[in-house]
Amino acid sequence: MGSIWEIDFYSRPILDDNQKKIWEVLVCESPLDIGTKPDSLFRYAQYCPSTQVNSGWLRTALQEAITQAGKAPIKIRFFRRQMNNMITKACQDVGIPAQPSRRTLVLNQWLEERMKEVYPQEPGYQGGTNPSVRLEKPLPQRLPDALEGQQWVFVTLDAADLAEMPEWEIGFGEAFPLELAKVSPEARIPGILIFSPRALPLAGWMSGLELAFLRFDTSEEARLLLETGVNESWIVANIKKPQVLAEAKGFEEAKQKANGVHFIGIQSDPKAQSFAGFWLLQEVNL
């Protein structure tokens, strides 16, 4: 499998000589495995004058990033929906699919670091709060009947156990190093296991959803939701039984203690020794 990149192209809290905000492109590599060394991930940054903000400038920057990396990624993720057209056009021009996604862990952390350590050192820096990306809450959709699991359960794993993921037999999946998510080896990581006789097709379909995170929602009724892309939401289960309700609350509490880290596993049955799918996820606030 080839590499996946994350990209942000937006204005920064820095003014040029004409009192116009300077823009910047950030490109970084997504970790795909729990054993990835964060320092080994490719990164590229370049400022852009406000007078040159367009898909052509971004395309040239992407070409330069590809040259520096030595190879092109198989897709590029971006979380900023208001930049959809420009980012998508630039990516298409260099022959790489662009994917709206909230799975931009490295990029989110890099932006936070630059807000604290880099931009304040630049001439023309304008302090203040960094505006977050306001996303409308999506209307949850029901999973297609053919793709609903026959059975599912809440489970937990020790963070140290997840270090063995590279040795597991997994059909579809993605992970990241826990140190990147600032999770200690002693942490308990919550998740769900979905069991289905159609485990592999279910895992294959879910792998194309650009998984973001799971969350227990009680805004209307108690239900477990799967967030995907940048604004998609799917109903995994409506929760009514008191015991399962308590487990769902426990899942959400454990997720918060693990800095938002959790997982989804898909197996053919509870006795299976392999996973049709396994994804390590993290809920983050953009």
Question: Residue 86 maps to which CATH number?
Answer: 3.30.420.10
Does residue 131 form part of some domain? Answer: no
**What are 42-53's pLDDT values in tens digits?**
999 999 999 999
Judged by DSSP in three states, 70 sits in: coil
Same domain, 202 and 114: no
Among 61, 86, 121, the domain-final residue is 121
**What are 23-40's pLDDT values in tens digits?**
999 999 999 999 899 899
Cβ(214)–Cβ(227) below 8 Å? yes
Does residue 257 form part of some domain? Answer: yes
Spell out the residues 6+ positions from residue 98 whose beta carbon is closer than 8 angstroms to its own.
75, 76, 78, 87, 88, 91, 92
Q: Which is it for the CA torsion 220, 224, 228, 234, positive or negative?
A: negative
Mean pLDDT of the 172-179 span: 94
Among 121, 156, 183, the domain-final residue is 121
Which contiguous run of DSSP H or E holds residue 76? strand 75-78
Spell out the residues 6+ positions from residue 219 whose beta carbon is closer than 8 angstroms to its own.
none
Q: Is the pTM of this model over 0.85?
A: yes
Does residue 183 form part of some domain? Answer: yes
Angle between helices 55-69 and 84-93 in degrees, nearest 10: 50
Same domain, 148 and 270: yes
Mean pLDDT of the 83-100 span: 97
Cβ(175)–Cβ(280) below 8 Å? yes
Among 121, 152, 179, the domain-final residue is 121
Same domain, 104 and 167: no
Cα gap 102→19, rounded to integer Å: 32
**Residue 197: is its pLDDT beyond 60?**
yes
Cα gap 34→218, rounded to integer Å: 32
Mean pLDDT of the 133-141 span: 72
Q: For strands 188-195 and 261-267, give the pairing.
A: parallel
Does residue 129 form part of some domain? Answer: no
The confidence score (pLDDT) of residue 62 equals 98
Cα gap 178→189, rounded to integer Å: 10
**What are 112-136's pLDDT values in tens digits?**
999 999 999 999 999 865 555 555 6
The structure tokens 């799918």 sit at 277
Q: Backbone phi, then psi, for 26, in 5-degree steps?
A: -120, 130
Does residue 109 form part of some domain? Answer: yes
Task: Count structural domains, the chain.
Answer: 2
Same domain, 101 and 196: no
Cα gap 108→180, rounded to integer Å: 11
Same domain, 105 and 154: no
Mean pLDDT of the 246-256 span: 96
Same domain, 248 and 159: yes
Same domain, 146 and 278: yes
Same domain, 60 and 147: no
Of the pLDDT bands very low, low, confident and very high (cuts 50, 70, 90), residue 275 is very high
Does residue 169 form part of some domain? Answer: yes
- R_g (Cα) of the chain, nearest Å: 20
Cα gap 209→228, rounded to integer Å: 6
Domain span holding position 54: 4-121
Same domain, 188 and 231: yes
Mean pLDDT of the 144-171 span: 87
The confidence score (pLDDT) of residue 188 equals 96
Mean pLDDT of the 63-89 span: 97
Same domain, 161 and 218: yes
The confidence score (pLDDT) of residue 139 equals 85
Does residue 132 form part of some domain? Answer: no
Same domain, 113 and 174: no
Does residue 126 form part of some domain? Answer: no
The confidence score (pLDDT) of residue 142 equals 86
Task: Give the Cα-Cα-Cα angle 133, 102, 129 (nearest 5 degrees).
Answer: 25
The confidence score (pLDDT) of residue 130 equals 55
b/e for 70-104, b at 16 or more Cβ within 10 A?
A: eebbebbbbbbeebeebbbebbeebebebbbbbbb
Same domain, 116 and 218: no
